[in-house]
Structure 1
């Protein structure tokens, strides 16, 4: 089965669409971490049989809570990765945001060779317009150099690059095979030896990104980010926009005046020429609500055990839930298993392997020992 993990803060309606769309396009179960999302949105997650909901806050993360949302997202994704390891039905984990939909051709995933540990979901970004007559159905794909040059000359983008063309990320998202020594980031994957892994690509593995697809979503998204005080969750090129939004939010202005200038900022920075892009054949037409996948259902006892493991993670040490820590988060899993009594099951083998490599089983870490030996040889006369 394929599991998705996300950290979400959104309205109940958007959360409900997010869950339904990902399940319809190939995901079997979702692990959703929420941060002060609101009672209505959390109720949607709590009531859904295909969702394991993990409500978090400053108390849940404990003393080592990072103020950086990106760090918390990576920690949550890697916590889900190790917490799922004891359950044999969980084969793959994909990391998506609350405004994203994983488009998974299940036959492609099922046919991946055993030595493939990660795949890449190429991004399709929603065309942004003030309003849509219904749901968003037109998406931008990554363009080649000739297409980017054409749009630059036409004045639709400032420079011939996909980073100028897309408002959000261009690196896509990743899926990882569970019970392997890999760590998942926002857009990258690393092996236990510290090397980045290139993801398997296929036309049947893509993702939708509904990044500020309307003026209302633009205002909601960027006003939230402006109020957060964080500078780690958007590109440097967007810093002037966030500063302008922050200034507008603190100025003593009538609501209608503030709304007018927020919309003007949208027109200047985000609104797109759908008709021209479609005329040039540069858009993909995708109905996010047309997914036909019927999710498989994990055993109910296992879902209870998974929830217990994640509940037990409140306040635990999250240091190894990163891309680079040698323990790869499996030391956290060991702690959770001891706290809950859940058996390691099929996770036991990878836990032993990683423990030996990291030196957490009482042996010296092999990699560190090798580096020290090499250094001594270089210093020898």
Structure 2
């Protein structure tokens, strides 16, 4: 039987860490390789006690072993830890790097999706669906790049659509399962390399989705906004969805412009049109066949695997 696991570098409260772990254990993960980006003793103790989890606190000794010092950028820390997890003696057939706000949602099972991948294929990509802010169960589906994506995005988001990749505020690249046992592998955020070459011809796992809980509420989105603007998914060096010659801006520049011109009201207008759950948003998505309703039921998973943390 095909086995799979995941690796994640996590900076989050203990309940969120354990919900993430518990949910994927329920989905059939054979191993979880969890790297705690800060000392989180309660999460460490709970994870350490679980037979399918390998947990590491990323302290000074850990970073000294990996590269001599702690990288400043969290993206570099994620890459180093994911590559370290892949280089361990293989305990699974497939390994994926994920974030703690991402959850695998299969049509049948993760194992079944991976067993359908041809034996000669070394990687398999999962596309995201993005959570609507203010709900736990409604998501906007991934729009394939089939020639109609831009028109669909413009229809869904008439004010801000030209600045959005695939209609998402977060990534559309998804995440990558990599078959274990390959030499000289570097696992990055959305891709993997063998030597200096990206792994070719990843299979598209159309019966498996990545539920990305990027913005749970307006308050949560606003609280994370500054960090994302400076160091995360809205940072200035990322490319725009539409070129400047066609009126496009990076999200970084768009948000800076909205703040300068409209202040907080501009950011709220963006959130309401693009992110927030509402009857209008659901109707727009439904009209294009893009509304997904999924009950992750994270608290139930938490109770099954880490009941002491669910009290």
Residue 138 (structure 2) pairs with residue 137 (structure 1): yes
Judged with a 3 Å threshold, the aligned counterparts in structure 2 of structure 1 residues 168 and 284 are, in CA distance, closer, same or farther, namely: same
User: Aligned equivalents of 1:37 and 1:217: distance in 2?
Assistant: 23
Of 275, 294, 300, 1:271 maps to 275
Native 8 Å contact 1:125 1:166 kept in 2: yes
Which of 124, 136, 140 is equivalent to 1:119?
Answer: 124
Give the alignment partner of residue 70 of structure 2, picking from 53, 59, 65. Answer: 65
Instruction: Please tell me whether Structure 1 or Structure 2 has the larger radius of gyration of its CA atoms.
Output: 1
* Match of residue 190, structure 2, among 187, 192, 198: 187
**Is residue 97 of structure 2 the alignment partner of residue 95 of structure 1?**
yes
User: Is residue 2:90 matched to residue 1:82?
Assistant: no
Runs of 5+ unmatched residues, structure 1: 248-260, 294-381
Distance in 1 separating the partners of 2:36 and 2:269: 31
Q: Deviations over 1:303-347 (max 9, x none)?
A: xxxxxxxxxxxxxxxxxxxxxxxxxxxxxxxxxxxxxxxxxxxxx
The alpha-carbon distance between structure 1 residues 16 and 278, as it changes in their structure 2 partners (threshold 3 A), is farther
Aligned residue for 1:203, secondary structure, equals: strand
Counterparts of 1:106 and 1:195, CA distance in 2: 24
Deviation track 1:126-171 (CA, whole Å, cap 9, x = no partner) reads 122xx22xx3233322255435414414644534576161011110
Structure 2: how far apart are the matches of 1:58 and 1:122?
35
Pairwise CA RMSD of aligned residues? 3.3
> Which structure 2 residues correspond to residues 17-28 of structure 1 after superposition, within 5 A?
17-28=19-30
After superposition, the Cα gap between the structure-2 partners of 1:222 and 1:46, relative to the gap in structure 1 and judged at 3 Å, is: farther
SS of 2:12's equivalent? coil
Structure 2 distance, partners of 1:9, 1:241, is 27
1:217 has 2:230 as partner: no
Please identify, of 65-74 and 101-110, the stretch whose mean Cα deviation from structure 2 is larger.
Answer: 101-110
Partners of 1:240 and 1:195 in 2: how far apart?
30
Q: How does 1:277-296 map to 2 (within 5 A)?
A: 277-289=285-297
Q: Distance in 2 between matches of 1:11 and 1:266?
A: 26
Q: Secondary structure at the match of 1:64?
A: coil
Residue deviations 1:77-125, cap 9 Å, x none?
Answer: 010001133xxx4211111111001235312312433321111111111
Structure 1 distance, partners of 2:169, 2:202, is 23
Distance 1:262 1:240 in 2: 15
Which structure has more helix as a fraction of its residues? 1
Residues 91 and 178, structure 1, Cα contact 8 Å, conserved in 2: yes
* More strand per residue: 2
Residues 95 and 198 (structure 1), Cα distance of their counterparts in 2 relative to 1, 3 Å cut: same
Q: What residue is the counterpart of 2:252 in the other structure?
A: 239
Q: CA deviation at 1:21?
A: 1.9
CA, structure 1 residues 279+118, in 2 after alignment: closer, same or farther (shift >3 Å)?
same
Contact 1:121-1:173 within 8 A present in 2 as well: yes
Residue ranges of structure 2 left out of the alignment (5+ in a row): 237-249, 302-311
* Contact 2:36 2:58 (C-alpha < 8 Å) held by counterparts: yes
Q: State how many pairs are aligned.
A: 269
